[in-house]
Amino acid sequence: MANLTFRNVLSCVRNADSSYALMEESDRIVVPLFGDRDCFGLLYALFYYRRYRQKNYRLFPVFLDVGYSKEDPACWEKFAMDLGLSLTVVDAKFIYPTLLSRQKEGKKLSRSLYSKLLKSALKDVAHSLKANKIAFPSTHDEAVRTLFFNLFENGKFATITPKLHWEGANIDLIRPLILCERRQLETMAEELSFPHYESSLPLSEMESKIPAILLQDEKVRKSLKKALSNAEEFELYFETLEFFCENDPSYTLKPVYSAKDMRLTHFASRKEKEGEKDFLLLKHQRKVGEIAYRFCSRHRVEFFYLEGKDDDLCVGLKELMDRLSQERIPLTFRLLNVRKSLALRCGFSKKKEYGSTQERYLLKRG
């Protein structure tokens, strides 16, 4: 029975790897050990998956000492040694005092802050080990919980992803167990006699608002798993977003979200900037321009790409600045690589920015 459950878990890892290209030859993968028994399952599965698929990646199990005296790495060390791996214990004692300093009265320690601090410490560990990937034990259950939490609390369809490139650190964050269900890992842990370990760090829990049927009904669980990777049949309102320019309703601005819209632009030929927002500028439903901007800071917006004629771009720029100013003030807008005639027409003037000797076209609102 143990072999059957373990094979099912390995099958989920294989499907995730083949669908999302998670593990490659010569990868150096940090496996952080913390929290609960799922970490045992992750390390165990990655160790034997490497043999099964004959992939030549290296595993680096890591225990972070966060400064909480009740956390003991002994069981993790023995588990790693039984697999022929060496456990790296890292001093991250700044984490627990930081959590305590931000703790609200009557509340548990912030799980989201803990996650951010953990990732920051893991980034340093990965660099010291010359690792290019960090593996997390997130399961399909966590993906579903995150999806519904974001839906009910934040009004957005978003969840954790199987792979995410951390641009600033040049590290890939991977989740090889993303297609596994938590109960599979729990069964495997019992059958293979993994050590009993539960973190005693008093962290807050994500408030559960998931309808009971999603946790109980097998058909619903399978449909949710399919839906999270079903790109062919994905349809939501945002793909048809398009709004009129108030100063001249013959123009509309269309956010670029779909591959179909992207094919109409020159955006695809450029390297994407972090946080950039791309728009098509249309006149009577025909494309006449392209505009891209990003927030450089909370109160500073940079328009860094404009394609089209001055007459058209001026309408689009003013509409975007009006909309952004309604959401947040004060705002300073900055134009890069733009014609002087367009900048002056839109009300910009050349000024030196604070902390810079270079003059740029700037416009302040609010």
Q: Which amino acid is at 270?
A: R
Backbone dihedral region of 170: left (phi > 0), alpha (psi from -120 to 50 degrees) or beta? Answer: left
Instruction: Give the separation between CA 356 and CA 352, rounded to whole angstroms.
Output: 6
Q: Which amino acid is at 251?
A: Y
Q: Where are the alpha helices (DSSP H) in 83-191?
A: 95-101, 111-128, 140-149, 182-191
Pick the CATH number of 237-365 from 3.40.50.1100, 3.65.10.10, 1.20.120.160, 3.40.630.30: 3.40.630.30
Would you list the domain boundaries of the chain?
2-231, 237-365
Residue-wise pLDDT tens digits, 164-196: 999 888 999 999 999 999 999 999 999 998 887
SS3 96: helix
Instruction: Give the separation between CA 14 and CA 22, rounded to whole angstroms.
Output: 10
Q: What pTM was computed for the model?
A: 0.77
Q: Do domains 2-231 and 237-365 have the same CATH topology?
A: no
CA atoms within 13 A on the CB side of 89: 12
Bridge partners, 332 (sequence order):
300, 364
pLDDT of residue 217: 79
Contact 37, 141 (CB under 8 A): no
pLDDT of residue 1: 41
Instruction: Give the separation between CA 324 and CA 18, rounded to whole angstroms.
Output: 42
Residues 6+ apart with CB under 8 A from 113: 98, 99, 102
Instruction: Give the separation between CA 202 and CA 141, rounded to whole angstroms.
Output: 21
What token pair was written down for 139?
């399961």
What token pair was written down for 316?
């689009």
SS3 317: helix
Residue-level length of the chain: 366
**Domain 2-231 of CATH type 3.40.50.620:** yes
What beta strand segments (E) does 181-337 contain? Answer: 243-244, 251-255, 277-283, 286-297, 300-308, 331-335
CA atoms within 13 A on the CB side of 357: 0
Look-up of token digits 């890069």: 336
CA 159 vs CA 109, 142, 148, 154, 190: distances in Å? 22, 9, 8, 12, 29
Residues of the chain with pLDDT under 50: 1-2
Residues 6+ apart with CB under 8 A from 187: 5
